[in-house]
């Protein structure tokens, strides 16, 4: 039998505010345990929350970017459950009036362009971090708690189960990540936990109306893991069903090391969060003026960039690579204002510059190259003052030291030789010194010609204009 797959994804993204969502403690990573805490985020008796305006604005921005409707009257609820990393034993979250509802995101798969509906976007607080002695949940003799993360603003983004393959899931996730990064609201680093993902997965016979029993997948900690975890779980479910058994509704844990999903086997407890409106906070009233002000702050997102880059003549492949790389696309956009050959810039950025950056494990803004320097470099090539080879040679210095390409070539005398008489004398020398090769060429061995060109380049330290060398050499050899 053939099966259809339904995947819904729930993302928790830590917002890049300077302070926590309900208190003024700094949001910061790597601080010593419990040093970024206060009565509010430790859940001390008597402490009260006060909402961070920036966190609300980031939530609205994201909701708008994901085509959501904004709830004009959004309120916070308490989600009541006991867990030692949750200091108040309730999480301040949103329930029936999330900030954004009914949005969507369009993704492109190898087959089609597809719209994934987004059910809700809401704001809540993060928990503290539990560390188990021995490193595993079970079997450890003590647990340690650090509340530095407690109260960091979290954005929860929940999709409808519209995703039908692991490939689509990854595409959806990376698109969301890119949007968050472009908006500047989250750094999107799954491996560091600043973006976390859970998925619910179900299968059903092709054509069937009713969704199958879903399992909830947790502990997917990298983009790499998304596809593999989902594929494993789909295969597992198909295997169960094709044996005539039934999938049980449960939470399963992705075991990265052994590449499998395992049942959480936690004590059976029906979730009963006893949501009720948070009496310590007053409602949010989000009016048109506020929404429009925020809407105007939304930068160009990858999707729009992609379309624009294609219009500039880039291939879809080039356009996509550039459009989804925030720093590179900004660099590109700045450069095309100075230098009117987008194709050429894209080529240089995506090949040579990217290679240099990879070697250094840096993004472009962490180096000293600027759109001005890039323009200078490309103009020198266009003017025939240096060859592409020379340009590639000096690129590292431009990147590392921010030196002007013009100055480099002048100081080191790297300007291309375009003087015919100067080249003619070099050619004469090469012919003289390689009489046997010249003979071979004259007998029809084409390769020998390339060798002779190479010799000219060598003697000129690469400065000779290759086109000119070709012409002159051909003429001289007759």
Place of tokens 């000096």: 394
Angstrom distance (rounded) from CA 404 to CA 191: 38
Q: How much is the CA Rg of the chain, to the nearest whole Å?
A: 30
Nearer to Zn ion, 19 or 448 (CB): 19
Return the DSSP state at 97. S
Asked whether the beta carbons of 203 and 164 are under 8 A apart, the reply is no
* Region of 262-270, 373-381, 395-403, 464-472 interacting with another protein (CB under 8 A): 262-270
25 touching Zn ion, by CB under 5 A: yes
Rounded to a whole number of angstroms, the distance between the first and last alpha carbons of the chain is: 73
144 touching another protein, by CB under 8 A: yes
Asked whether the beta carbons of 233 and 215 are under 8 A apart, the reply is yes
Nearer to another protein, 44 or 450 (CB): 44
- Report CA 127 to chain centroid distance, whole Å: 25
Nearer to Zn ion, 91 or 202 (CB): 91
In a 3-state reduction of DSSP, which class is residue 309?
A: helix
Nearer to another protein, 157 or 284 (CB): 284
Give Cβ neighbours of residue 118 (< 8 Å, ≥ 6 apart): 66, 67, 68, 100, 102, 103, 104, 105, 157, 158, 159, 160
In the stretch 1-20, what mask flags binding to another protein with x, by CB under 8 A? ----------------xxx-
Residue 156 touches which of Mg ion, Zn ion, another protein, none (CB < 5 to 8 A by kind)?
Answer: Mg ion
Nearer to another protein, 138 or 340 (CB): 138
125 touching Mg ion, by CB under 5 A: no
* Region of 125-133, 160-168, 312-320, 459-467 interacting with another protein (CB under 8 A): 125-133
156 touching Mg ion, by CB under 5 A: yes
23 touching Zn ion, by CB under 5 A: yes
Q: Which residue is nearest to Mg ion (CB)?
A: 156
291 touching another protein, by CB under 8 A: no
Q: How far is the CB of 90 from another protein (least distance, A)?
A: 5
Q: Residue 10, CB half-sphere, CA atoms under 13 Å: how many?
A: 11
Q: Where are the alpha helices (DSSP H) in 66-143?
A: none
143 touching another protein, by CB under 8 A: yes
Q: How far is the CB of 185 from another protein (least distance, A)?
A: 12
294 touching Zn ion, by CB under 5 A: no
Angstrom distance (rounded) from CA 99 to CA 153: 14
Q: How far is the CB of 89 from Zn ion (least distance, A)?
A: 17
In a 3-state reduction of DSSP, which class is residue 409?
A: helix
Angstrom distance (rounded) from CA 214 to CA 195: 23
Asked whether the beta carbons of 47 and 87 are under 8 A apart, the reply is no
Q: Which residues bind another protein (CB under 8 A)?
A: 17-19, 24-27, 32-39, 42-56, 75, 78, 80, 82, 84, 87-90, 130-132, 136-147, 266, 269-270, 272, 274-277, 279-285
């Amino acid at each position: 039998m053939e099966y259809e797959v339904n995947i819904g994804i729930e993302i928790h993204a830590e917002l890049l505010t300077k302070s926590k969502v309900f208190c003024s403690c700094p949001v910061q990573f790597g601080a010593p345990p419990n040093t970024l805490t206060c009565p509010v985020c430790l859940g001390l008796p008597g402490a009260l929350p006060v909402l961070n305006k920036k966190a609300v604005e980031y939530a609205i921005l994201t909701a708008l970017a994901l085509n959501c409707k904004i709830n004009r009257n959004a309120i916070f609820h308490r989600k009541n459950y006991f867990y030692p990393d949750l200091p108040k034993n309730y999480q301040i979250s949103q329930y029936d009036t999330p900030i954004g509802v009914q949005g969507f995101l369009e993704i492109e798969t190898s087959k089609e362009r597809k719209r994934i509906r987004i059910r809700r976007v809401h704001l809540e607080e993060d928990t503290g971090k539990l560390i188990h002695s021995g490193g595993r949940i079970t079997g450890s003799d003590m647990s340690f708690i650090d509340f530095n993360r407690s109260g960091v603003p979290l954005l929860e983004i929940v999709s409808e189960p519209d995703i039908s393959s692991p490939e689509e899931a990854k595409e959806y996730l990376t698109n969301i990540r890119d949007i968050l990064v472009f908006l500047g609201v989250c750094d999107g680093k799954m491996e560091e936990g600043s973006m976390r993902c859970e998925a619910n997965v179900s299968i059903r016979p092709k054509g069937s109306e009713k969704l199958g029993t879903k399992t909830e997948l947790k502990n997917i900690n990298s983009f790499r893991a998304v596809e593999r975890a989902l594929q494993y779980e789909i295969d597992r479910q198909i295997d169960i069903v094709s044996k005539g058994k039934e999938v049980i509704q449960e939470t399963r844990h992705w075991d990265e090391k052994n590449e499998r999903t395992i049942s959480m086997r936690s004590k059976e407890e029906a979730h009963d969060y006893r949501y009720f409106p948070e009496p310590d906070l007053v409602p949010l009233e989000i009016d048109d003026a506020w929404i429009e002000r925020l809407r105007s702050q939304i930068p160009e997102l990858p999707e729009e960039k992609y379309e624009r880059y294609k219009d500039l003549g880039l291939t879809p492949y080039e356009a996509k690579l550039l459009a989804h790389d925030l720093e590179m696309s900004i660099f590109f956009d700045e450069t095309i204002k100075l230098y009117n050959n987008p194709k050429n810039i894209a080529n240089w950025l995506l090949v040579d510059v990217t290679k240099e950056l990879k070697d250094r494990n840096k993004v472009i803004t962490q180096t000293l190259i600027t759109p001005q320097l890039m323009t200078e470099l490309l103009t020198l090539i266009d003017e025939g003052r240096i060859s592409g080879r020379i340009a590639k040679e000096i690129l590292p210095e431009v990147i590392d030291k921010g030196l002007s390409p013009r100055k480099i070539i002048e100081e080191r005398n790297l300007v291309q030789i375009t003087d015919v008489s100067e080249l003619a004398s070099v050619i004469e020398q090469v012919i003289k010194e390689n009489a046997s090769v010249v003979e071979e060429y004259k007998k029809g061995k084409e390769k020998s010609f390339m060798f002779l060109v190479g010799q000219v380049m060598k003697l000129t330290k690469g400065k000779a204009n290759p086109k000119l060398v070709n012409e002159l050499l051909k003429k001289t050899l007759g």
